Chains A and B, each alone.
Chain A
Amino acid sequence: MDTNKPNLSPAVDAQGGIGAVPVPHTEHADHLHHDEHDHEHHDQHWLWKYVFSQDHKMIARQFLITGMLWAIIGGTLSSLFRLQLGWPEATLDWLKPLLGHWIDAGKLNPEFYLALVTMHGTIMVFFVLTAGLSGTFSNFLIPLQVGARDMASGFMNMLSYWFFFLSSVVMFWSLFLETGPASAGWTIYPPLSALPQAMPGSGAGMTMWLVSMALFIVSQLLGGVNYVTTVINLRTRGMSMSKLPLTIWAFFLTAILGILSFPVLFSAALLLIFDRSFGTSFFLSDIYIAGQALSNQGGSPVLFQHLFWFLGHPEVYIVIMPAMGMVSEVLATNARKPIFGYRAMIGSLIGISLLSFVVWAHHMFVTGMNPFLGSVFMFLTLIIAVPSGVKVFNWLATLWRGNIRFSAAMLFAIGFVSLFISGGLTGIILGNATLDIQMHNTYFVVAHFHLVMGSSAFFGLFCGVYHWFPKMFGRMMDEKLGYIHFWLTFAGVYLVFMPMHYVGIAGFPRRYYAWTGFDAFSQFADMNKFISVAAILAFFAQFVFVFNFFYSIFRGRRATENPWNSTTLEWTTPIEPGHGNWPGEIPAVYRWPYDYSKPGSEADFIPQTVPYSQTQSSNLPYEQEVVD
């Protein structure tokens, strides 16, 4: 292999270039095969193998580990503000070594509190649940499950990670600014985010937030275009769209959502940069602040909200749909049953994707938007409950009369369904414009989205890591630690977010440094302590996972080729697939991915690569026709 050109992907070459039909046993393929056994890794400098790698599996691992680091930071921030909310009177001097001047006479600085909630939201939504979840598993699973040697463009894929890395560096750096990071809430509504005189976090912190987010969007688009292209063009022989695992359908639709919606956030960020730095008035009008009347006229803060939520709402589906896909896959595999209603599952994913673009203004019912628009968006929003409901019922029907093995991944998949139900149902309250008048921006909203897209997406992420860890690292994660991690987290999440609904129904506003100033909001002091304790414990429980993860990479039990007896293509690769995934020819696909416990078949699963001609005894009538 040519050692002087590490940027040329041998995998894509071996496949015959982008978009080509997989080649039968060629010289290249043979060579690759040969390479695996004789002088493994000798021909690649570690810098190209581990750092600037173009192998989708390495890029996936990079996304995952970066995402995990961000999750620890994001979780730490939430523990800090839960301390403040649980014990508003306590002295926090002991945090001074960590937080410095943000601890002011034993108290958390209120502006820093806002910085904490802002960065917690930004980090979790974008860096953990978008990049860490979708980035990891779209990268890892798309080529493996559609039967491709790598992504359509390995180089763009590498750029996608490094733009994310750059974006992470900028955001991380902003945490250490003298004036603090961005503090206007993760939704950065102007004018608060546009005017440095409104709060210190709207100075350099906000600038860095916007720069970081612009880089992040570039990363998302590079990744998204790649995912879509790969799914459309690089499927192996026989892998029609109707034979794709649901994971791939989910990643595919997620990538399309990202491509269509992230540019709108980019435009909003760009206009905000103009307002902040070049004196334009897109979002500013009639403002008197810090003893001065500004000259800005004619802009609209509500316009920003439209632009922001045009991304922001599809964004929550960008976060949750990959989790839905992986959960469908893991539920079917471990219940040893086909996923119920494969086509209905695809249909509901498509329905959710389409609807996700026409519901954004339900975040804005009480912003002074025309009430007629409110009616339209209420109608469209509540419709989304129908495809979501179909998914839940199909998952339940998949478990029905199954033969369930509880792997750690399976536990998290079941947990996902439970959290998705609990959080999704309260969306029916919030999507109702009338009820939103009272509930808007209260802890009811906080509880709702932390269950339905925060915690459940995290559960999807855990489910994916436990399930595909053997393929990622060639070893197994410890099952017992996985069980402990699951039960602590599952209980923790419910203990945190169920009581949070009560606080929200009582009307407690979110992003409040303390509620002690109001009689109306002071009745739940004990409950807030309870929530804080549960939240901090649940956060510490995550270190069981972190330990298990890093320990198992090096010391876990050796995996077998197909440890879960699964049908999909990734399990036909060697235990530690090299760059190019399959040492020989890419296998062809003959059947859908869910032939579990098929009557007439000896084994309780038939891999996608087994032709119908070899399974005469279990073929359904229409499948037999293919053979004849």
Chain B
Amino acid sequence: MRKTFDPITLEILWRRLISIVDEADSAVSRTAFSSLLRDAHDYTCMFTDRKGRELAQGTFATPGQSGAMALGIKNLVNKLPPETYKPGDIFITNDPWALAGHLNDVCLISPIFYKGQLTAFTACVFHHSDIGGRVSSDNHDVFEEGLFIPLVKLYDAGVLNQSVIDMIRWNVRTPDEVIGDIRSQIAANHVCGEKICQMLNENELDGLDDLADQITDRTEKSMREQIEKIPDGIYRAQGVVEQMKGKEDVVIKAAVEVKGSDIVVDLDGSSPQVNWGGNVVYNFTYAYVFMAIKSMFDPDIPNNDGCARPIKLKAPEGSVVNCRFPAAVAARLVIGHFLTEIIYRALSVVVPDRVIASSGGTPAQMNVFYGKRNDGRPWHSVIIRGGGMGASSLSDGNYVYIFPANGANTPVEIFESDTPLIVEKRELLIDSGGPGKMKGGLGQREVFRIPDDQYAPIPPINLGIQAGRHLHPPEGLFGGRPGARARFLVNEEPGNPYGLTQLKPGDVVTIDAAGGGGYGNPLERDPEMVERDVIEGYVSLERAKEDYGVVIDPKTSKVDMEATRKLRERIGG
């Protein structure tokens, strides 16, 4: 018999489901090995009902992983007939096409049984710092990028498949870390499964089906109500993403059709897949299209299968946004992160107050440093970096965040204790925020030195980079101007951010993350806000004058209102 929950009970149980995943999430931060997980939180935990419909995800989930997983888990768990699942099974895969779009994202899936019945699936994707292969964005196919683990059983009815562990161990550079992190994944799924059963038991429920129906239906309804408010139509935009030297820009075309409470995003006309690692699988493209729409229409509602129902995506097969196996995909964020801002741009005409200009943290920057210390010990450290967020109609862009992805930085003191390198600088980049009535967020500069004294590591010191915005800066909106570009310099000379950079002791690497785009005409910015920016050193005196038409007395740091009025009149035309 179908059980209906009154609104109060539903709220109570719903909240419980989310706290269950958050418990699993915090088990990860306590047990994980690599700093990319423990400090930067590059992982996502979630669980689905027995049909694979996502019910809850961790509060700090990364949108790219969670969106791609929601889609991927549903497909994967329905591949096998339900009766083939056994208690104690744990599946493992890093198939980029099945899940989160590159080999580093390894997923563990556990079927959960309650009273002998298949009830749920818990899953987690961790970004493993090391998955073997050649660590670079310019590989030509996925075979160069590391170990590919198809969907296999890591545990069969509770019995470890040691061959899988051995296979992984011999294909990566830092096996202890990789295996340690897989153990942390097992723990996360275990915690989640236990708590689900406990919840069912305490509430005298036989399964999740009715609860799942009602939670996802309510969520869908809420999303639809918001979408319905905007006028029907097809809204178009395109994004241009730079490639390495000598290659034409990638173009992504989006037609966003709003029809009643449905949204269909069609990426027809986007560039064909490329012969380097920037290719995006369908799931990952979907994740950032979804991120845009959810953040615009219903940011607060907990994420589950219901949020996604009104959103359909069409992406031509073989294009850069729906690449075919065996395309290289390691650096999929370099292109994939752009989808969110392209959707914002398309819909900015109808919901100008719910979007932000382009962000310097789109794409996130990822640096993989690895090599050997002077005593021969290997190290392998991955750090991620954000830039300035785009401004909105109401506020300046936040400084140095990863957007639309999410994650934290790695403390300099942790990085220096994990590696032999010296970080000379991690600071805000003055004048990098795109001018506008609302200013884009500032980007940041980080400088690394390879020691050449008794601490010098054994050359070469390897640096793999995933980044963008070196050529095309983050654009502004509604008259706002672009933020500053990203830069990658080795000993003050421009380096190649797509290749594998080999460094030697004494080298200095400078990396700038881009600033966010401005929103609205900078000549309309409140002169007092410009004054404050100058006093704090976010904007220089010169740029205050050139970009904002604000004249500030260098001695008193006060705005000269009269001179400002005249200057703005003159340059404003």
Binding partners A and B: no
Chain A interface residues toward B at CB < 8 A:
none
Chain B interface residues toward A at CB < 8 A:
none
